[in-house]
Every structure is written in structure tokens, then in C-alpha cells.
Amino acid sequence: MITLYHCHAARSFRPLWMLEEMGLPYDLKMLPFPPRVFAKEYLALNPLGTIPLMIDGETRMTESSGICHYLGTRHGPTPLIVGVDEATYGAFLNWMYFSDATLTFPQTLVLRYTRLEPEERRNSQVAADYTKWFFGRLRGVEAAVAASDTLCAGRFTAADISVGYALLLAQRIGLSAEFGPAVAAYWHRLQARDGFRRAVAAEKLAGEQQQVVRRF
């Protein structure tokens, strides 16, 4: 059984959504955010203290987009993965890596300096600078989804899950009102997917059953 450690609406939502899209069985362990402060025992499992952590037999992974890629290949085949023989394989990989390294990175600074730090350390200038940076980086997504319903391969793939999570996070930190028209419509389409809805329902249910308090 695959085990996924997750905090509400955190990057671990990417593998959770992927698991639901693939219909794989899994065990979802909810943690309060950030676990390094509110669930210190988790550091014994993942010394980084970050989520996600996915355990599948001997395999342990802590990178959200990498876990999606792993699930689709190890537990596939699935159309959610673009294969090496497909024309848009490179574009697929680029979106997968872009989703966290390029797109989510500036968002985490906005989150940190508007909500996570104690009042006296919050910094509106940092938040404004990285908000601008995020929207600069989102331009590539706007162009891609203005031309097609999905990012690549002419179908919904793990790249849409990985990039789609950044849109979820943007909504969570109050940036979604500034989405361009194509990204707004794309985000609407993503949220309408059964797999997305099942993932949202699964995290809600697990949070309630495990009595994990949502702080953010």
C-alpha cells in the first residue's frame, strides 16, 4: 500500500490528486502545518520536515512532481504520463519541473511573508516582489492554455496536476483574482475534474477522521 503524508492544500496535494486520477489505493496520513513545529515526531521519518513524503515499499520520495512521475510510470501505464516516444515528451518534462522549481517557489515566499512568519517578521515588500515574480512566470501558462485545453500532448496529464497545484496555492494565498483569462478558465476546468474533487474530498475526510487542525 502506498502511504502519503500530507498537509491540507500543501504540495502533497499533487501526488494525492495523481493517486485519485489513477484510482490507486493509498493510505493518507494528515499532519498539521508545518510538521517540523507541530508534529516533531515526523522528523524521524523525513529529516527535512517537508511534505510530501511518499512511501511505496522500499521507495521513499519527497518531491511532489517527482512522485507524480513515479506513480504514473511505476504504477502505470496511464495517459497521465507523456512517453519518451511522444512528440511533446520534452514539453511534458519541462512543465513537470517548472511547476515547482519555477512556479511554486515565488509563491512560497508570498505565503511565508504574509501568513507564516510572526507578525513582526512579515514583509509586504517581499510579498509584493514575489507576487510580481509569480505572475511573470505564469505568463508561460497563460500562453499555453490560451492555445489548448491542457498544457501538452492534447490531453490532461500529470503536468496539469503539477502546474494546477500552483493555481490551487495561488487561490489559497489570495492571488487567483489576478489570473489572466486563459489561466482562470483552465483553473475552472481543472477543479471540475472528478479526480480533483475526489482528492479535495479525501483530504477533508482524512483531516476530520485524524482530527488534524488546519492552521492556514
Ligand X SMILES: N[C@@H](CCC(=O)N[C@@H](CS)C(=O)NCC(=O)O)C(=O)O
Residues in contact with ligand X by CB under 6 A are 10-11, 34, 36, 49-52, 63-65, 100
Q: What is the closest distance, in whole angstroms, from the C-beta atom of residue 104 to ligand X in the complex?
A: 7
Nearer to ligand X, 39 or 182 (CB): 39
Q: What is the closest distance, in whole angstroms, from the C-beta atom of residue 13 to ligand X in the complex?
A: 9
- Range list of H helices, the chain: 13-22, 35-38, 64-74, 89-98, 105-111, 124-147, 158-172, 181-191, 194-209
Task: Map residue 59 onto helix, strand or coil.
Answer: strand
Backbone φ/ψ region at 161: left (φ over 0), alpha (ψ -120 to 50), beta: alpha
Nearer to ligand X, 48 or 87 (CB): 48
* Rg value, the chain, Cα: 17
d(CA 51, CA 169): 15
For residue 130, give the C-alpha cell.
514575489
Q: What is the closest distance, in whole angstroms, from the C-beta atom of residue 10 to ligand X in the complex?
A: 4
Q: What is the closest distance, in whole angstroms, from the C-beta atom of residue 107 to ligand X in the complex?
A: 9
Q: What is the closest distance, in whole angstroms, from the C-beta atom of residue 145 to ligand X in the complex?
A: 21
Residues in the chain, how many? 216
Pairing of strands 53-56, 26-30: unpaired
Amino acid at 178: E
Nearer to ligand X, 52 or 164 (CB): 52
Nearer to ligand X, 61 or 149 (CB): 61
Nearer to ligand X, 43 or 87 (CB): 43
Task: Map residue 122 onto helix, strand or coil.
Answer: coil
For residue 160, give the C-alpha cell.
496539469
Q: What is the closest distance, in whole angstroms, from the C-beta atom of residue 194 to ligand X in the complex?
A: 24
